[in-house]
Amino acid sequence: MTAAIAKTNSILPHTERIYAGVLGKIFGVYLGRPIEGWTYDRIRKEFGEVDYYVSERLGVPLIVPDDDISGTFVFFRALEDNRVLDARTVGDAWLNYIVENKTVLWFGGLARSTEHTAFLRLASGIPAPESGSIARNGPAMAEQIGAQIFIDAWGMANPGDPRRAIEMARAAASVSHDVLAVDAAAFVAGMEAQAFVERDLDTLIEAGLGLVDSPRLAALVGQVRDRCAATDDWREVRDWIEAEHGYDRYPSNSPIQTNHAAVIMSLLMGGDSWHRSVMISTSAGWDTDSNTGNVGAFNGIRLGLQGLEAGADFRTPVADRFYAVSADGGECVTDAAQQTRRIVHAASVARGEEPPGRSPRFAFELPGSLQGFRLHPGTGLVQAATDVRNVGAGLGIGFRALAAGTIAAVSTDTSAEPRPRARAGTSDFEVLGSPTLYPTQTIRAMIDAAEATPDAALFIDCFGDDGLLETVSGPPLRLEAGTNTLTWEVPDVGGRTIHRVGLALTSATRLDGQVVLRTLDWHGAPRDYRLGRSYELTDGLDPWTTDTVWLRSFVSSAQNLAPDYTTTFCVSHPRAGGVVTTGTREWADYQVSSRIQFNASDAAGLVVRARGHRRYYAAVLVGSTLQIVRQNDGDRAVLAEVPVDHRTDETHELAFEANGTSLVASFDGAAVARVEDAAYSSGGGGFVVDSGAMLADGFAVRAV
């Protein structure tokens, strides 16, 4: 794809089906994730058929980071970031958004993990598609399942246009895979695109095979179709796949042949039941979360929200929530509605259409969407809220016997649930992300109330010094009949990480009824967010504690990031590109500042408007000069350069401001470098060090 995309029919009428596809993807992954790696016999003995989430039975969280989810929605950002989409631009997205050994992929090693192998090829300067080729990596690496598991967003972005979906899918898949793996991924994406306008499964399969020229794929799919047509028992087909295309028939740890056959079997034997299809793909074993994620996404698109809701309630426990883990840390904690908006926006721009305007962060505009809102746990009072559901005009919060001593409270997460670091060498992915909400940001809520109205207050839960959550509430507002606006600037909480935001209803006299939260939103950078020294942030902990909740609010691709007892933290990296950021893509006009001891390094300083860790502006000290630079993938452009009085190991006040197209760097309180540049309009802030180290004493973000 080397030219601008011609206009096609608007994507907007398909928004609800895209949302169903996103939901189907995450539901499928969460269904299969807890038993990934289990043998078929163990699954059958333990559960018989896996027809609902088993995470609680197994004592593991339901909402977890997973490569199938992160890869699907993070690699799709290549379409957000580029006017031209091809294998190289998707490969650049890999390098920008992946933090090696931490995000998106299973980092199993060179020539062991296909995706890690491709990443190492890219990082060493081998461009895509060579990075994923058989010629470079061999067939065992290049023909595994990974290309297919990341592919669903390309189908969702191209409703009714399977050729274009296939073109995009091939470009994305070839970053890490080749031949049959790429063909299978393109086939799935093409069928998903066509499923927006065609429901019949056989018709979709025929259309997909007609657009993907692959005799090997056609033969495999044909064999599975014949087997499915000959029996009503999916287990018979599963046994045939094991005998003819099982893992032992191929020289890899997750071959595309086995898993693609399982996906086709699950679709055919599941018929027009979303629930039966995901039950089959999970109960059959092999790569359970990957296969069920593809099946769930495809049938989510094909059968729509009605199909998702035709059986057991998969929606309420998830409440739209998932993690998109990447170097773009403020985008980690997200939900299906927000990701649907991103797909629609990027696809509209790629078509040359006017994209939809910005929605409030929580608008509940899609049918049934909860956007992570649930009954708030641990209020310390009797919870009087009885019902939290989408009512079309917003989030309905029903309450009964709301009175003195009770509370009706709902909340949603703004940072990830803390969990242990991932075990080395496994696919147990760690959560790596920044909060979405920061102290001194202003929250605005729109609430509809009836005649008998309670008091309403916004609140946050933040982590205390002991790691436990504490609630901080805003002032209450007596709601009036009609629409109410509730505004609150989140107070300074001493640098502690905000974990939840919510709405609490109280009343001095008994009330039964409902209010509707129409929207809840915040936007832009914090007014004045500050971190002090590490001993102030971890009061009462051992001074050598290196893993703290507040430190996890920064996403680091630097090899070493740790609290420093005398300052805030130390950043050290043995090569170029040690980047540490916090904040979100909605931080636009702001200044970052810190008092920095600049140790030996090639360059070190501050970052603004980071979108990943290879696209940002920086103000850095390079020897005795201060530079303003623009990092764009592997290219660093010096936009301005001035001499300063600096020697190694000295400490200086450094500030870097972005306001519109203006970039201003200040050194020891004086603005010394200015430049205009329009490449990046928003993104997170933090630090960068090339081949060296620095000590940061404090960190401040101030909106301008």
Q: Tell me the domains of the chain and their CATH numbers.
A: 14-330 (1.10.4080.10), 374-521 (2.60.120.260), 529-703 (2.60.120.560)
Instruction: Measure CA 623 to chain center.
Output: 38
pLDDT over 90 percentage in the chain: 89
Q: What is the pTM of this model?
A: 0.95
- 129 upstream amide cis, omega within 30 of 0: yes
Q: Is residue 609 within 8 Å of residue 617, measured between CB atoms?
A: yes
Distance CA 549, CA 555 (A): 12
Count the helix, strand and coil residues of the chain and give each as a percent rounded to the nearest 5.
Answer: 35, 25, 40
The predicted-structure confidence for 109-153, as pLDDT tens digits, reads as follows 999 999 999 999 999 999 999 999 999 999 999 999 999 999 999
Distance CA 502, CA 460 (A): 6
Q: Region 251-276: what's the mean pLDDT?
A: 97
Strand order in 603-610's β-sheet? 555-556, 578-582, 684-690, 603-610, 615-622, 625-632, 635-643
**pLDDT value at residue 323:** 97
Distance CA 479, CA 507 (A): 11
Quick count: other Cβ atoms within 10 Å of Cβ 213?
Answer: 10
The predicted-structure confidence for 278-289, as pLDDT tens digits, reads as follows 999 999 999 999
Strand order in 442-449's β-sheet? 385-390, 395-402, 511-521, 442-449, 482-489
Strands 670-676 and 615-622: unpaired
Going from the C-alpha of 281 to that of each of 40, 62, 202, 238, 266, the distances in angstroms are 11, 18, 18, 10, 5
Q: Is residue 621 within 8 Å of residue 607, measured between CB atoms?
A: no
Going from the C-alpha of 187 to that of each of 182, 216, 220, the distances in angstroms are 8, 12, 12
**pLDDT value at residue 428:** 60
Angle, helices 180-194/201-211, rounded to nearest 10 degrees: 130
Q: Region 308-329: what's the mean pLDDT?
A: 97
The predicted-structure confidence for 204-235, as pLDDT tens digits, reads as follows 999 999 999 999 999 999 999 999 999 999 99
Q: Is residue 228 within 8 Å of residue 268, measured between CB atoms?
A: yes
**pLDDT value at residue 628:** 98
Q: H/E/C letters for each residue in 216-257?
A: HHHHHHHHHHHHHHCCCCHHHHHHHHHHHHCHHHCCCCCEHH
Going from the C-alpha of 216 to that of each of 207, 242, 338, 349, 518, the distances in angstroms are 16, 18, 38, 36, 52
